[in-house]
C-alpha cells in the first residue's frame, strides 16, 4: 500500500508540473474579467441620463392621459374625445422608446404588461365593457393596445354612447378608469422610485453577479430586443406559422403606425446600449473576429433600422405584399441577438439571468 | 496474487466507519429531498415542462407527473431517515435507489455529477450491510448484529471517491483552467460583495490562485487522506475547500456529500471513538460475526467490473474528436465539474419540404427556460428536441417528414460566440446515438 500511495502522489505531481511548465507564459490571452472600468460612473450615467429623465417624461404622458380621461368621463363630448385621442397617441409614441427600461421598480410593477400587452384581445375588451372588471384577471385587454382599439376603431358617436355618464355605462366607465389609472399608478411608482432611493441602490449595485445592475441592464436590453424582433415583426410576418401571416397582430394596428413604433423600439434599445455598455466594451477591448464588438453592434442596429425603412406604408399590408422586405428586416434584427445576448455578456463576464436556474449546478 | 487479493478485500474491519457513513448519508439525502421540495423544484422541474429530455438508452423511463414526482421525493426523504436509523435498512436503500434514480432519469437536463455520485453510493450501500450495528434493525433482529464488515465495503467507497477527485482534477489540466483562470475568473468576481473576502475575489490574480490550488487539491487530496500522518490536515483541507465552494457556488449538496463521505478515510478506531463520544454504547465482542461473503469470487468480479466501467466511462471522451468542453460528447458521468461557463443561443426552424414554407420555433412554447439553456449547449438534446418539433409541427400543420434545422451560437468561457452546429443539417433526420456528431462545427480557439 505504501508504495502505491507514494507513486500515485508522485505521478500526480509530475503530471501537474508537466502541464504547468509546458507553456506557462505562452498563451497570454488571459481573460477580460476584473478590468478597471469605472462601473459606478457608468451606472450613474444610466440613472441620471436614461432611467430618470425617461421615466419622468413617461410620467408626464400618463399624467396627461389621466387628466384627459377625467375630462372625458366628466364631460363626454367630441372635444374631450379629441383630446383623449391625442393623449393616447402621444403616450404610445412616448412609451415606444422606453419599453426596454424594464429594470428594478419597473419589473416590480410589471410595467410592460400594464402598459403595452399586444396584440389586444378585442373580445375580452368588449366583454369587460359590458360585464365590468370585477374578479377579472387582466391579460391582453388593458394598456395602450386596449385604448387604441377602443378610441381608434370606434366612431365618435359610439364612443360617446359607451362612455357618457349614464347608469348603464357604469361598467365601461369603470373599465376605462381602471386601465388609465393602473397605467398612471404604475408609471408614477417607477418614476418616484428612480427619483428617490432606487437611484442610490442601483448605482451601488456594482459587480457582475446575477441581480447586479449591469446584469439587469443587459437582461432588460436582451429581453426587449427578443420581444421586439418576435412580436413587432416576426409574428405578424408569420415566421412562427409556416408563412401564414398574421397582420392582425401588429402593434399599433388601428393607428397604423407599426413601423414607426418598431423604429422607436430599435432606437430605444440602441440608446440603452449607447448609455455605457458600449464604453464598457471598448474599455476591455472587446473584439469579435478582429472587429470591435461595439462597432459590430452599432452597425447591426443601423442595418436593422435601414432594413425596416425599406418597408413602406403599412406593416400589416407589407407582410403580405412585400414579404421579402419584411423577412430581410427580421433577419437584420435577429443578427444582433447573438452579439447582444451571447457575445457581450460573455466578454463582460456577466451572467445572463433571465435564463434562470431553478436548480443547483456542479 | 488471488489469495493475497482475497485476503485484503475480505479481511474483517470494524463496522464503525460504515455506520458513520450510513447515518450521515441517510440524513443528507433526506435533507436534499426536503430542500428540493421546499424550493419548489419539483413543480419547476417535473411540473412545468411539457417535454422531457432523456439519457441515451433511458427513453423508456416513465414520466410520473408532478404528483408522482412528489411521491418519489417523499419516498426519498423517508428512506433517508430509515437508512440513517438503520430501520428496514436494505429495503429502504433499495427504495431510495429506485426513487432517486427514477427522478434523475426523468429529465436529462437536470443532470448533475453529484446526483450521479449519490446514486452510486446508494448502490454500494445496498450491498453493504451497514445496519449491523447501531441500528434499529439489530434491536428487532439481533441476529443481524455484526461488529465487522469485509474490507471491500470501505474500500469500494474510498476507490469511488478517489476516482471522483482524480478525474475532476485531471479535467482541470486544460489551458482555459490553468492559463486563463476560466471559468473562475467569471464566477469569483460575482461575489465581490461578500464581507472580508469579497474584494479579494474581485482580484484577477485570485482566480489563478484558486484554479491552480483547486487542480492541485483534486489531484492529490486522496493521497493526503490515505497517508495517516497527513490525514487530519488533509481533512481540514477538505473542509476548507468544500465549504469555500459551497459559499461561492450554487452547488447544493455536493460539498456536504464530499465532506461527509471523506470521513470514510479515517481509521476504524477514529470512528469508534467518535461514536462512543456521541453516546452510542460500546459494541460487544461476542457480536463479531465471521465474514459473510460466501461467494468471494463473485464479489471480486462484481467489484472489478464495476470499477473498470468507472474507469472507462470518464475516459470515453478520448474516443471523441475535439474538446469535450465544446462538443459535450462524453461529458456526463465523467466527473467534469465546474469547468465551463457557457451560454448558447439556439434558433430552430421547421421546414415543410413540399411547400418550402418555414416556421421559426419559439422555444418558450415547448421548453422551460432552464431546459432551453441546457439544450442550447448540448447537441444530443438538440436532436431530441428536433424530433419533438418534427412530431408537433407535423401534426399541427400536416407536414410530411418536416426538416428541422438550427442556428446555434455558443460562447465558451468568456469568449465571443461561435456557430456550434451545421445550420443546414436536418436534425430531425439524425439519430441520438453515442457516435460522434459530425455536424458539430469544431471549436476555434
Geometric angle at alpha carbon A113, from A110 and A117, rounded to 5°: 170
Q: Quick one: pLDDT band at residue A15, thresholds 50, 70, 90?
A: very low
Q: Is pLDDT of A17 > 50?
A: no
Rounded to an integer, the average pLDDT of A181-194 is 98
Closest CA to A279 of A353, A351, A214: A214
Q: Quick one: pLDDT at residue B107?
A: 97
Query: Which residues on A lie below 8 Å from B215 (Cβ)?
Result: 16
Instruction: Please answer whether residues A66 and A83 qualify as being in contact, where contact means their C-beta atoms are separated by less than 8 angstroms.
Output: no
What does chain A come to in residues? 362
- Which A residues 22-51 touch B at CB under 8 Å? 23-24, 26-27, 29-34
The whole model's pTM is what? Answer: 0.90
Cβ pair B190:A334 closer than 8 A? no
Alpha helices in B191-295 (DSSP H): 198-202, 204-226, 231-248, 254-261, 268-277
Rounded to an integer, the average pLDDT of A290-302 is 97
Q: Is pLDDT of A25 > 50?
A: no
The four Cα atoms B26, B27, B30, B35 give a dihedral, to 10 degrees, of -140
Q: Cell 476516482 belongs to which residue?
A: B163
Q: Quick one: pLDDT at residue A33?
A: 78
Any B CB within 8 A of A3 CB = no
Torsion sign (Cα): B394, B397, B399, B403: negative
Q: Which of A33, A342, A361 lies nearest to residue B186, judging by beta carbons?
A: A33
Three cell numbers written together for B27: 440524513
Cβ pair B414:A33 closer than 8 A? yes
Rounded to an integer, the average pLDDT of B299-324 is 95
| Cα B150 from Cα A4, distance rounded (Å) | 21
Instruction: Please answer whether residues B261 and B161 qualify as being in contact, where contact means their C-beta atoms are separated by less than 8 angstroms.
Output: yes
Q: How many CB atoms lie within 10 A of CB B70?
A: 16
What 3-state DSSP class applies to A140? coil
Cβ pair A240:B338 closer than 8 A? no
Q: Is pLDDT of A287 > 70?
A: yes
Closest CA to A277 of A288, A263, A261, A293: A293
Interface test with B, best of A8, A13, A18, A33 (most B CBs within 10 A): A33
Three cell numbers written together for B215: 487542480
Interface test with B, best of A27, A31, A331 (most B CBs within 10 A): A31
Cβ pair B112:A359 closer than 8 A? yes
The residues, any chain, with a CB within 8 Å of residue B3's CB and separated by 6 or more, are none
Query: Which residues on B lie below 8 Å from A243 (Cβ)?
Result: 355, 357-359
Query: Which residues on A lie below 8 Å from B360 (Cβ)?
Result: 234, 239-240
Q: Quick one: pLDDT at residue A34?
A: 67
- Which A residues 82-111 touch B at CB under 8 Å? none
Cβ pair A15:B344 closer than 8 A? no
Q: Cell 429581453 belongs to which residue?
A: A223
Three cell numbers written together for B194: 461578500
Q: Quick one: pLDDT at residue A360?
A: 66
Nearest CA in chain B to A215: B190
Q: Cell 507553456 belongs to which residue?
A: A23
Q: Quick one: pLDDT at residue A36?
A: 76
Nearest CA in chain B to A34: B204
Q: Is pLDDT of A357 > 90?
A: no
> DSSP for B105-132?
HH-GGG--HHHHHHHHHHHHHHHS-TTS
| Cα B102 from Cα B108, distance rounded (Å) | 11
Q: Which CATH code, of 1.20.1420.20, 1.20.810.10, 2.130.10.30, 1.10.8.60, is assigned to A38-196?
A: 1.20.1420.20
Three cell numbers written together for A28: 497570454
Query: Which residues on B lie below 8 Å from A241 (Cβ)?
Result: 359
Cβ pair A360:B352 closer than 8 A? no
Per-chain mean pLDDT for chain B: 94
Q: How far is A202 from chain B (nearest CA, A)?
A: 14
What 3-state DSSP class applies to B213? helix
Residue ranges covered by each domain of chain B: 2-318, 341-429
Q: Quick one: pLDDT band at residue B31, thresholds 50, 70, 90?
A: very high
Q: Is pLDDT of A227 > 90?
A: yes
Cβ pair A34:B44 closer than 8 A? no
Query: Which residues on B lie below 8 Å from A18 (Cβ)?
Result: none
Any B CB within 8 A of A226 CB = no
Instruction: Please answer whether residues A58 and A105 qualify as being in contact, where contact means their C-beta atoms are separated by less than 8 angstroms.
Output: no
Q: Quick one: pLDDT at residue A32?
A: 72
Instruction: Please answer whether residues B289 and B129 qualify as being in contact, where contact means their C-beta atoms are separated by less than 8 angstroms.
Output: no
Nearest CA in chain A to B367: A355
| Cα B276 from Cα B260, distance rounded (Å) | 18
- Which A residues 267-296 touch B at CB under 8 Å? 287-289, 293
Q: Which of A20, A234, A346 lies nearest to residue B411, judging by beta carbons?
A: A346
Q: Which of A210, A234, A358 lies nearest to residue B45, judging by beta carbons?
A: A358
Three cell numbers written together for A77: 363630448
Which stretches of chain A are assigned E, i.e. beta strand?
Answer: 287-288, 291-292
Geometric angle at alpha carbon A109, from A103 and A112, rounded to 5°: 70
| Cα A12 from Cα B254, distance rounded (Å) | 24
Cβ pair A15:B219 closer than 8 A? yes
Cβ pair A209:B190 closer than 8 A? yes
Q: Quick one: pLDDT band at residue A162, thresholds 50, 70, 90?
A: very high
Amino acid at each position: 500500500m505504501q508504495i502505491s500511495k507514494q507513486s500515485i502522489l508522485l505521478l500526480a505531481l509530475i503530471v501537474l508540473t508537466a502541464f504547468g511548465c509546458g507553456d506557462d507564459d505562452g498563451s497570454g490571452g488571459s481573460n477580460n474579467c476584473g478590468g478597471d472600468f469605472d462601473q459606478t460612473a457608468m451606472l450613474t450615467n444610466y440613472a441620471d441620463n436614461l432611467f430618470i429623465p425617461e421615466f419622468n417624461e413617461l410620467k408626464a404622458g400618463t399624467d396627461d392621459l389621466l387628466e384627459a380621461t377625467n375630462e372625458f368621463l366628466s364631460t363626454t363630448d367630441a372635444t374631450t374625445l379629441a383630446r383623449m385621442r391625442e393623449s393616447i397617441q402621444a403616450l404610445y409614441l412616448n412609451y415606444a422608446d422606453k419599453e426596454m427600461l424594464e429594470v428594478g421598480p419597473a419589473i416590480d410593477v410589471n410595467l410592460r404588461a400594464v402598459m403595452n400587452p399586444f396584440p389586444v384581445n378585442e373580445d375580452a375588451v368588449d366583454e369587460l365593457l359590458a360585464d365590468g372588471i370585477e374578479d377579472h384577471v387582466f391579460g391582453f385587454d388593458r394598456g395602450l393596445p386596449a385604448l387604441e382599439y377602443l378610441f381608434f376603431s370606434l366612431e365618435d358617436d359610439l364612443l360617446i354612447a359607451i362612455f357618457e355618464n349614464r347608469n348603464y355605462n357604469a361598467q365601461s366607465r369603470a373599465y376605462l378608469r381602471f386601465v388609465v389609472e393602473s397605467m398612471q399608478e404604475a408609471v408614477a411608482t417607477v418614476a418616484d422610485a428612480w427619483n428617490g432611493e432606487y437611484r442610490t441602490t442601483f448605482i451601488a449595485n456594482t459587480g457582475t453577479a446575477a441581480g447586479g445592475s449591469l446584469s439587469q441592464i443587459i437582461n432588460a436590453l436582451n429581453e426587449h430586443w427578443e420581444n421586439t424582433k418576435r412580436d413587432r415583426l416576426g409574428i405578424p410576418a408569420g415566421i412562427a406559422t409556416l408563412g401564414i401571416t398574421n397582420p392582425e397582430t401588429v402593434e399599433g394596428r388601428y393607428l397604423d403606425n407599426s413601423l414607426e413604433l418598431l423604429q422607436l423600439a430599435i432606437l430605444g434599445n440602441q440608446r440603452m446600449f449607447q448609455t455605457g455598455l458600449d464604453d464598457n466594451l471598448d474599455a476591455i477591448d472587446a473584439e469579435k473576429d478582429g472587429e470591435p464588438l461595439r462597432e459590430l453592434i452599432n452597425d447591426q442596429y443601423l442595418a436593422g433600422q435601414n432594413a425596416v425603412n425599406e418597408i413602406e406604408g403599412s406593416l400589416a399590408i407589407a407582410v403580405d405584399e412585400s414579404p421579402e422586405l419584411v423577412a430581410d428586416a427580421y433577419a437584420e434584427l435577429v443578427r444582433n441577438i447573438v452579439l447582444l445576448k451571447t457575445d457581450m455578456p460573455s466578454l463582460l463576464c456577466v451572467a445572463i439571468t433571465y435564463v434562470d436556474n431553478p436548480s443547483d449546478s456542479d | 496474487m488471488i489469495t493475497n487479493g482475497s485476503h485484503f478485500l475480505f479481511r474483517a474491519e470494524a463496522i464503525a466507519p460504515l455506520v458513520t457513513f450510513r447515518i450521515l448519508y441517510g440524513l443528507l439525502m433526506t435533507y436534499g429531498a426536503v430542500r428540493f421540495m421546499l424550493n419548489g423544484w419539483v413543480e419547476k422541474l417535473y411540473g412545468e415542462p411539457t417535454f422531457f429530455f432523456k439519457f441515451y438508452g433511458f427513453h423508456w423511463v416513465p414520466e410520473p407527473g408532478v404528483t408522482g414526482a412528489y411521491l418519489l421525493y417523499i419516498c426519498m426523504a423517508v428512506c433517508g431517515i430509515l437508512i440513517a436509523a438503520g430501520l428496514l435498512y436494505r429495503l429502504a436503500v433499495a427504495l431510495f435507489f429506485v426513487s432517486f434514480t427514477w427522478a434523475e432519469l426523468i429529465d436529462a437536463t437536470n443532470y448533475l455529477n453529484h446526483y450521479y455520485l449519490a446514486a452510486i453510493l446508494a448502490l454500494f450501500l445496498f450491498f453493504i450491510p451497514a445496519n449491523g450495528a447501531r441500528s434499529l434493525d439489530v434491536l428487532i433482529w439481533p441476529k443481524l448484529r455484526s461488529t465487522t464488515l469485509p474490507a471491500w465495503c470501505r474500500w469500494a467507497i474510498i476507490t469511488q471517491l478517489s476516482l471522483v477527485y482524480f478525474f475532476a482534477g485531471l479535467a482541470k489540466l486544460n489551458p482555459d483552467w490553468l492559463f486563463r483562470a476560466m471559468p473562475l475568473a467569471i464566477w469569483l468576481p460575482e461575489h465581490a460583495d461578500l464581507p472580508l473576502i469579497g474584494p479579494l475575489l474581485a482580484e484577477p490574480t485570485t482566480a489563478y490562485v484558486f484554479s491552480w490550488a483547486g487542480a492541485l487539491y483534486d489531484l492529490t487530496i486522496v493521497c493526503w487522506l490515505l497517508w495517516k500522518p497527513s490525514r487530519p490536515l488533509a481533512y481540514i483541507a477538505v473542509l476548507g475547500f468544500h465549504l469555500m465552494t459551497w459559499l461561492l457556488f450554487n452547488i447544493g449538496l455536493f460539498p456536504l456529500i464530499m465532506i461527509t463521505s471523506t470521513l470514510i478515510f479515517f481509521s476504524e478506531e477514529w470512528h469508534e471513538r467518535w461514536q462512543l463520544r456521541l453516546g452510542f454504547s460500546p459494541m460487544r465482542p461476542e457480536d463479531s460475526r465471521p465474514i459473510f461473503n460466501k461467494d468471494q469470487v463473485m464479489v471480486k468480479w462484481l467489484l472489478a467490473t464495476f470499477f473498470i466501467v468507472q474507469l472507462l466511462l470518464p475516459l470515453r471522451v478520448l474516443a471523441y474528436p475535439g474538446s469535450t468542453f465544446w462538443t459535450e460528447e462524453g461529458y456526463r458521468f465523467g466527473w467534469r465539474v465546474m469547468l465551463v461557463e457557457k451560454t448558447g443561443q439556439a434558433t430552430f426552424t421547421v421546414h415543410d419540404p413540399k411547400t418550402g414554407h418555414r416556421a421559426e420555433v419559439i422555444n418558450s412554447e415547448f421548453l422551460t427556460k432552464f431546459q432551453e439553456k441546457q439544450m442550447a449547449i448540448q447537441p444530443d438534446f438538440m436532436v431530441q428536441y428536433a424530433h419533438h418539433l418534427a412530431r408537433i409541427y407535423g401534426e399541427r400543420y400536416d407536414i410530411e417528414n418536416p426538416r428541422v434545422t438550427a442556428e446555434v451560437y455558443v460562447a465558451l468561457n468568456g469568449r465571443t460566440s461561435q456557430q456550434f452546429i451545421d445550420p443546414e443539417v436536418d436534425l430531425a433526420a439524425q439519430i441520438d446515438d453515442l457516435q460522434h456528431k459530425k455536424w458539430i462545427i469544431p471549436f476555434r480557439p
